[in-house]
Structure 1
Amino acid sequence: MTKQNGVAARPLPQTRRDLLKGTAATAALLGAARALLPGGAWAQEAGPEVRGAKLGFIALTDAAPLFVAKEKGLFAKYGMPEVEVVKQASWGTTRDNLVLGSEGNGIDGAHILTPMPYLISAGRVTQNNVPTPMYILARLNLNGQCISVGKDYAGLGIGTDAAPFRKALEARKAAGKSVKAAMTFPGGTHDLWIRYWLSAGGIDPDRDIETIVVPPAQMVANMKVGTMDCFCVCEPWNLQLVHQGIGYTALTTGELWDKHPEKAFAMRAAFVDRYPKAARALLMAVMEAQMWCEKTENRAEAAAICAKRQWINCPVADLADRMKGRFDYGLPGKVVERSPHVMRYWADHASYPFQSHDLWFITEDIRWGRFEPNVDAKALIGKVNREDLWREAAKALGVPAAEIPTSTSRGVETMFDGKVFDPADPAAYLKSLGIKRAEI
């Protein structure tokens, strides 16, 4: 109120035009605020608790959803503009940085081998066996890995049947030469795929061949100097091996187990528990990126993004074909167009973290001695697998019901050699396997 001659004067009545002007000014002010604050003027109140997180990745094409979420501004879209996607030198480095957490100059989450969050949460692969609780929020992909063999074995034309490889390895050992199979992390997916393939062909991965750990980006260079005879890894390293004439692809892992689960998007449990809204925002960004990566019309651009220096740092030609479904195995006449085993990022429920799949990984790690036969797998999965958060994110994203599984189990799975994994009876599966370290 103003005063006239010392007397408080009543405010003049506002006209309709004045009111409209005031309303318009307020709307303009709020509009400007929304432009400045992702998620609207109240983003700090209703949106994520923090604006960023540190996410690790290994230079592989199944990390594409993280690259795309960063490049396409999807993390920012969901209120997390300060997310850092940081390259890791190896899976061992990923583990160590997850143990540290971003507060210890490490990372909060990662593109990761699906069994690793279990091994880390149980303290099986951490220093002094101290557990670091982890959550799996989503699966990142199905299929997409390969087992490659050195050019010395080109005449054998090795495929899903490793039996011919066994004879060649025996001859090599008899001549006093070492024979080695490379994978990327003990107990991880690549370790389990190559062990399954070798043992199905009658090769004991612990006794008939030496299994060694080599970071993905170093696979081709090591094969070139004869460090190993075969390896299992994701792209682009298998196709790069073919392009350099160093070896050939024996098989894609989808030929071992069609539409098998592979990498996961996992976070430190401490981060998710402390910042649940931020975790959901990260998950939604990754899921939207998976949908984008899945589309055929986006695969060429996805390959170009992956090839960039800050991500995989390789020629586009080393990854484009296989991302689009064309597989040149590096053997005369063996080129598959529109392969059914192309990597899936969203289709076939690729993103949903089925608990039954986590049970298979734990069962295989029991097989090779990473877990004891009496480990309570159900309880461990209950702590690590957060499919409930995936469902919440899917609902928020408006994912159609047909794309959301109705069960936490995908059901009975059949491997290429006829072995059957029934999630209701993992012990029966273990008993059916010939070569194993576990006593069942």
Structure 2
Amino acid sequence: MNPFHACREFLATLRTHQLRGSGTPAAEREVARRPLGNYLGTGIELSANTILMKSLSTNKPQSLTRRSFVRNSSKALGLASLFGGLPRGWVGGAYAGDGPEVSQLRCGIIALTDCSPFVISAEKGFFKKYGLDVTIAKGANWAAIRDALSSGDNQFTHMLIGMPLASTMGLLGAPKKPMVIPWLLNRNGQAITLKSDLKGKVGADPKALKPFVEKAKKLGEQMSFAMTFPPGTHAMWMRYYLAAGGINPDKDISLITVPPPQMVANMRIGKMDGYCVGEPWNARAIADKIGFTSVTTQDIWKDHPEKVCAFTAEFAEKNPKTIKAVLKGLHEASVWLDDMGNRPEQCAIVSKPNYINCDKEVILGRLLGKLNYGDGRPPVTDEFPMHFSKRNCNYPQPAFAKWWLTQFRRWGMVSTAPDYAGVAKQVMRGDIYAEAMKELGVTDRTQDDTGWEMFDGVKFDPKGDLEGYAKGFAVNSVKEGN
């Protein structure tokens, strides 16, 4: 619609209400129902409305004269002319500087339970509350998600914590593209699944797997295990698990990459003997009777970090208000998600075909902490099920990045010692997180440099000798560069 014709129609609506003597409330309802931005086709929903609404609230219907109406109409028509030339996606607040720099955004996700903060924030209107119109775009695999962020097709995305680190450093085939993590999405909620043939032979101890690996090697048929992306969380959990059992993932087995939603189908046809992935694809293997859970990743590292919300560093620098608006929406969604009473509704939403595309009952069990290993071990209540907000979940701790960098070093993904502190500081943007949360009155979540102990008894100190830690494992693939 032509902006001037649109504005004329809009003003006619206001004039009709006032000349009828219907009073300010009715006119306000009509203004709220049909915002001026919609008439102008610019995506603006607040700009001129504010000025016109003020006029309505200060002028009684009977005081509206031809002169005052023409005066107010001229003001609005001038605004229409101005706004009609603005680019689509421009955000006005009551006045333009109050809102995010970019309002229309695309967010990439992978079909995993831990995409929930993005989905819930979009579905429940938490993004919209902070001036954002977010389209959720499901990706086929992690490489596609990374590339869509790097190219600008997506403005923010669901990512494995190691991916922004690898992209910033230009590792493992990733084009060098600095990225930032101002928000951790969740803790826990992944697992290592083994094929049903190993039931009763291998439980929670990976050492029990080693004889099967050695037998396969002697026959010239390496066992095959899958993860979802080389620098990602699932790769590191699988590598750590195998190495704790005396198995070198770079020499003793074949380690392959399979997208999360395809894990179950590939195990069904015998492509792998085990895999590490996020939920619900471990619970799904049990439901389909093709595999069982050896360990959860929270068994390997209690309350570990998992997925993140990532942006390119370039986008974050240019659009600080937009980043904070995203984080505020995620905060509200995460608090909602950690109310256990909301988890059935969460599953009903995220199970839809355009998100995870999995039975909601399969998703729900482990979200409620009901852990059935699927191999005859008694079901247990998980002490550390997936959570999204509590226990300082969302702060982007530099300590976590440092641990990931030690694993890059351990497994030969870098040939010299990385700048542990420098890269961690560059990528893990606690300053952005803190600024956004301060505006919401959330000030009790801060940096934590406390170390932790893994399930093999090895302790990690983020303030200690990181290079020594990386090289100190009995099973490693450390490379030394020039």
Give per-residue Cα distances to partners, 1:259-292, cap 9 Å, x unaligned: 1111110111222111111111011111211111
SS at match of 1:121: helix
Aligned equivalent of 1:433? 473
Map 1:115-130 to 2 at 5 A: 115-126=162-173, 130=175
What one-letter code is carried by the residue in structure 2 that aligns with 1:86? A
Aligned equivalent of 1:371? 414
- Deviation for aligned residue 1:31: 10
Map 1:193-272 to 2 at 5 A: 193-272=237-316
Give per-residue Cα distances to partners, 1:332-370, cap 9 Å, x unaligned: 143112x11201211111111111011101111111112
- Deviation for aligned residue 1:44: 2.9
1:165 aligned to 2:217? no
Give per-residue Cα distances to partners, 1:387-414, cap 9 Å, x unaligned: 1111111111222x44x12xx2341111
- Deviation for aligned residue 1:43: 5.2
* Distance in 2, Cα, partners of 1:133 & 1:327: 38
TM-score, scaled relative to structure 1: 0.87
- Deviation for aligned residue 1:309: 1.3
Aligned equivalent of 1:137? 182
- Deviation for aligned residue 1:30: 11
User: Which of 81, 94, 99 in structure 2 is aligned with 1:42?
Assistant: 94
Aligned equivalent of 1:360? 403
* Distance in 2, Cα, partners of 1:42 & 1:122: 41
User: Which of 327, 331, 339 in structure 1 is aligned with 2:375?
Assistant: 331
What one-letter code is carried by the residue in structure 2 that aligns with 1:164? A
Query: Could you tell me whether the CA contact under 8 Å between 1:101 and 1:108 is conserved in 2?
Result: yes
What one-letter code is carried by the residue in structure 1 that aligns with 2:235? D
- Deviation for aligned residue 1:371: 2.2
Between the two structures, name the one with larger relative contact order (CA 8 Å, sep ≥ 6).
1
- Deviation for aligned residue 1:38: 6.3
Map 1:290-305 to 2 at 5 A: 290-305=334-349
* Distance in 1, Cα, partners of 2:472 & 2:173: 31
Aligned equivalent of 1:75? 127
Aligned equivalent of 2:9? none
- Cα distance change on mapping 1:176 and 1:369 into 2, 3 Å: closer
Deviates more, 1:378-387 or 1:218-227: 378-387
- Cα distance change on mapping 1:433 and 1:31 into 2, 3 Å: farther
* Distance in 1, Cα, partners of 2:450 & 2:113: 27
What one-letter code is carried by the residue in structure 2 that aligns with 1:209? I
Aligned equivalent of 2:73? none
Give % identity: 37
* Distance in 2, Cα, partners of 1:201 & 1:126: 29
- Deviation for aligned residue 1:122: 1.4
What one-letter code is carried by the residue in structure 2 that aligns with 1:100? S
Give per-residue Cα distances to partners, 1:169-210, cap 9 Å, x unaligned: 222333343311100001211000000010011001011111
1:151 aligned to 2:196? yes
- Cα distance change on mapping 1:112 and 1:320 into 2, 3 Å: same
Deviates more, 1:317-326 or 1:44-53: 44-53
Query: Could you tell me whether the CA contact under 8 Å between 2:410 and 2:471 is conserved in 1?
Result: no
Query: Could you tell me whether the CA contact under 8 Å between 1:38 and 1:77 is conserved in 2?
Result: no
RMSD: 2.2
Aligned equivalent of 2:17? none
Aligned equivalent of 2:331? 287
Specify every segment of 5 or more residues in structure 2 that has no aligned partner in the other structure, as ranges.
Answer: 1-22, 36-44, 51-92
Aligned equivalent of 1:110? 157
* Distance in 2, Cα, partners of 1:323 & 1:134: 30
What one-letter code is carried by the residue in structure 1 that aligns with 2:186? N
* Distance in 1, Cα, partners of 2:46 & 2:397: 32
* Distance in 1, Cα, partners of 2:454 & 2:111: 28
* Distance in 1, Cα, partners of 2:127 & 2:438: 18
* Distance in 2, Cα, partners of 1:176 & 1:372: 30
Query: Could you tell me whether the CA contact under 8 Å between 1:357 and 1:409 is conserved in 2?
Result: no
Specify every segment of 5 or more residues in structure 1 that has no aligned partner in the other structure, as ranges.
Answer: 1-23
SS at match of 1:318: helix
- Deviation for aligned residue 1:45: 2.7
1:100 aligned to 2:139? no
What one-letter code is carried by the residue in structure 2 that aligns with 1:348? R
TM-score, scaled relative to structure 2: 0.80
- Deviation for aligned residue 1:25: 5.4
What one-letter code is carried by the residue in structure 1 that aligns with 2:146? R
Aligned equivalent of 2:231? 187
Query: Could you tell me whether the CA contact under 8 Å between 1:252 and 1:341 is conserved in 2?
Result: no
SS at match of 1:348: coil
* Distance in 1, Cα, partners of 2:210 & 2:377: 24
